[in-house]
Amino acid sequence: MQKLNLPPSDFKLKSEEGNQFIFDIVRKKYLVLTPEEWVRQHFIHLMVNHLAYPKSLIKVETGLAYFKSAKRSDIMLCDREGSNFLLVECKAADVKIDRKALNQVSVYNKELKARYVALTNGMVHFIWEYRSDENKYYQLKEFPKFV
């Protein structure tokens, strides 16, 4: 897999019947190692090991409905009260972060109402704060502290 612009981590990898798998520390199971999963797992490790976000408050690939369409958010960090704090949309490293990707995560957040939204392909990362009173997103330079 491609080297990403994220801190290296000690991943548990295994091969079975010609397929590569990576262990998800949140869901506590091995998953097929796709380019998007590679980014997602790196980002989860960043959140837990470098940003000190509580692993117990992270949800991965949870379902949501939007205009009768079933969708899945990649990573959601909840605050201590159980409200959505940070929504992260992951793309494979070769997928360009463009208006389409930004629209996707903003559509998801209309339903999820997270205070912060991030978009990453493992090479570039963007983070915004959503201010519901203004109905506007403001780009941030770093990830929010979890308190």
Closest Cα partner for 114 from 85, 137, 88, 94? 85
Region 62-78: mean pLDDT is: 75
**Could you report the per-residue pLDDT of 121-134, keeping only the tens digit for each?**
999 999 999 998 89
Who has greater pLDDT, 112 or 63?
112
Closest Cα partner for 96 from 122, 71, 77? 122
Residue type, 50: H
Percent of the chain with pLDDT over 70: 94
**Could you report the per-residue pLDDT of 101-123, keeping only the tens digit for each?**
888 888 889 888 999 999 999 99
* Domain map (residue ranges) of the chain: 13-140
Q: Range with the lowest mean pLDDT among 4-18, 68-82, 91-105?
A: 68-82
Q: Examine the pLDDT at 53 and tell me if it is beyond 90.
A: yes
Q: Examine the pLDDT at 31 and tell me if it is beyond 60.
A: yes
Give me the pLDDT at residue 107, please.
Answer: 85
**Dist CA 80 CA 76 (whole Å):** 13
pTM of the model: 0.90
Q: Say if residues 120 and 88 touch (Cβ distance below 8 Å).
A: yes
> The domain 13-140 is classified under which CATH number: 2.60.40, 3.90.1570, 3.40.50, 3.30.70?
3.90.1570
Write the CB contacts of 81 (distance below 8 Å, at least 6 apart in sequence).
Answer: none
Give me the pLDDT at residue 26, please.
Answer: 96
Q: Examine the pLDDT at 70 and tell me if it is beyond 80.
A: no
